[in-house]
Amino acid sequence: MILRLDIRFSPVSIVAGILVAASGPVLADLSIPRPSFGVPEFAQPGGTFRIEARAAAALDSNQWSVVLANDLRAWTGAVEQVDYGLFTDNDTATGYRLTVRLPSDISPEVFQLAISHPDAGAATNVNAVGVVPDFEDDFYILHYADPQAGGYEPTNPETGQCGKNGSIREIHWHAPAIRLINPRFLFDTGDELDNPYYAYSITNYQKYIEAMCQAGVPVLVTRGDNDDMISTEDWRRTIGIETYSLALGSFVVFQKDYNENHFSSWFTNAYAASFTNPAVGFRLFGQHFSDSGASWLPPAGQEPGLMLVGDIHMNAVIQADPYPIFATEAAHLKGAVSLVEFTRDNAAWACPTLTNLPAAQFRLMESGAVARISSTFAAPNDGSAPSNTAMIANQIPRRFRNGRLRFQMPFAPAGYDVSNGTVLAQYDYNEGSNLAVLVQVDIASAKTTEVAIQPSAAAPAAHGTPAWWLIRHKLPPNADGEDFDEGDGSPAWQEFIADTDPADAESCFRITGAGHPPSGSLEFDSSSSRWYQVLGCSNLPGGVWSAMPDLAARPGAGGPDAFSISNPAPYLVYRLAVTIP
């Protein structure tokens, strides 16, 4: 993907110089045990996350490729470290652990993960990585218990149910409402399908996944008693590991499988270890729950901040002390959910929902496919309209502070402004012909909220840096000639052209290494949305910089990159240039 710069903007390239003296694989099966649809990983823009990959041993660590994609475009992750050993299935099975750094400009959305290696093939998991602007900001989740689909189409179109249980079609009806509310994640505590429906085919779980992905948020899933007909092997292939923990900064989540205790010792130890980690500020624990099965209760002195459970099929406080346990109505009852809020103040997490649970519980649907919260657009939201207005009609007596819209617009050099919302990200797609504008909306309770978007009225900064890029990085307007004292010596306009982070001294356009004569190499950190070229000069000062005839300009790899200079003569000095296509 590329970012086009209006021709009147200049310059469109910058250079870094360094002196250099003249001078059929067999593919093996590759899979991604984690992150997966039901066990995602979370990361902040510019931050790291981990991938567990299963493949043959002794693969070249430098050949891994990682791409994150939504429905509009893709971003390339930089693989910083590769380890091989007991790194999969809660450190019980052999595989690879990849540490991957996200680009700083990635949008805070949920992404499909694709990895590949020339000696192992390729693998993809949907809805696998959630990008969060800041882990320590206040947020909310939706507890989504017991969707329990008993068929694809409902037998009762008014309720969406198939028999006494749910339907896949009903989940599709819930998804747009969940997307608007935009919880940090959907917390699914078991009974995804009803037993007889699974018995028809494992593809019915894949239909459930397809429906859930339409919500556009990460989903954390565990297994319930009505999921007991699916084998553990099939569950892990489709949903993910059945018992796990994951961290979002200082907020840690645990989910425990109801049916089996394959990881009981691991889970007990991992949970206990969280109490010796001073960085952990809150523990959310989820499981399907009853007096039978493999339900697990924390030991005394290791109480979670909150336990959310499935199986109960009603809104209830199961326990208040020594730690709270909440149950939520079955999701197949017109999209019943609980909105659970978490706030952070003075470096401590709190859960305000604990003081008023009834106010947190509601249903997404009114009748059939009619949602109680929905959006309409004045113009088609397909990238064709130069301005637009969205109307969010909310009949639920709840305010959703972190609501979200995404506008698809024609490309505009200065980006877009919105009224009644906060721009979280703007990124190009469709080969630079369009911009997607992700907007956070404070959705008012039980009324209609209007959000308008139009091309930015702000003039381009002096060096041509788009206003939307300065806003994204919290930089003042017309300040693109400054470096903001982060220490790398690069003014903001150069950071924009190089696609680096103006707030990070380690993120700048520079040559990181060079080979030795008679041949050589130029090593550098690259962006997949920028193009790079090597220029040579034989006589300084005053000599002519010429393109290297055997090194054509090309896009960056998105991470560590290099040009190999196999025929350096007659040049003595080389220059690396980065350009916005």
pLDDT tens-place string over residues 392-402: 999 999 999 99
Lookup: tokens for 441: 């909306």
Domains of the chain: 1-23+473-581 (no CATH), 31-131 (2.60.40.10), 139-367 (3.60.21.10), 372-455 (2.60.40)
**Lowest-pLDDT range of 73-87, 378-392, 503-517:** 503-517
Are 505 and 511 a contacting pair, CB within 8 Å? no
Residue 366 has pLDDT above 90, yes or no: yes
Are 364 and 335 a contacting pair, CB within 8 Å? yes
Check residue 20 and give its pLDDT. 37
Tell me the per-residue pLDDT of 310-348, one tens digit each, with 9 for 90 and over.
999 999 999 999 999 999 999 999 999 999 999 998 879
Closest alpha carbon to 433 in 415, 414, 460, 409: 409
Grouping H, G, I as helix, E, B as strand and the rest as coil, residue 249 is coil
DSSP string, 319-367: E-SSS-EEE--BTTTTSEEEEEEEEEETTEEE-GGGG-GGGGEEESEEE
List strand residue ranges (DSSP E) for 11-92, in order.
13-19, 31-34, 41-43, 48-54, 65-69, 74-88
pLDDT band at 484 (very low <50, low <70, confident <90, very high): low
Are 69 and 558 a contacting pair, CB within 8 Å? no
Q: How many CB atoms lie within 10 A of CB 27?
A: 13
Higher pLDDT, 129 or 13: 129
CA distance 532 to 512: 15
CA distance 181 to 230: 31
Residues 11, 12, 18: CA angle, nearest 5 degrees? 90
Check residue 9 and give its pLDDT. 29
- Give the pLDDT mean for 485-510: 79
In angstroms, the Cα distances linking 137 to 87, 133, 250, 285, 475 are 30, 8, 11, 20, 20
Check residue 518 and give its pLDDT. 52
Higher pLDDT, 357 or 287: 287
Query: Across the chain, what does the average pLDDT equal?
Result: 87
In angstroms, the Cα distances linking 74 to 99, 259, 416, 493, 510 are 19, 37, 21, 24, 24
CA distance 230 to 143: 23
- Give the pLDDT mean for 146-169: 95
Tell me the per-residue pLDDT of 106-128, one tens digit each, with 9 for 90 and over.
999 999 999 999 999 999 999 99
Tell me the per-residue pLDDT of 185-199, one tens digit each, with 9 for 90 and over.
999 999 999 988 877
pLDDT band at 22 (very low <50, low <70, confident <90, very high): very low
pLDDT band at 26 (very low <50, low <70, confident <90, very high): very low
The pTM of the full predicted model, rounded to 2 decimals, is 0.79
Check residue 456 and give its pLDDT. 86
Instruction: List CB contacts of 152: < 8 A, sequence separation 6 or more.
Output: 162, 167, 168, 169, 204, 207
What is the DSSP secondary structure assignment for residue 277, as one 8-state letter?
Answer: -
Partners of 440 in beta bridges: 404, 422
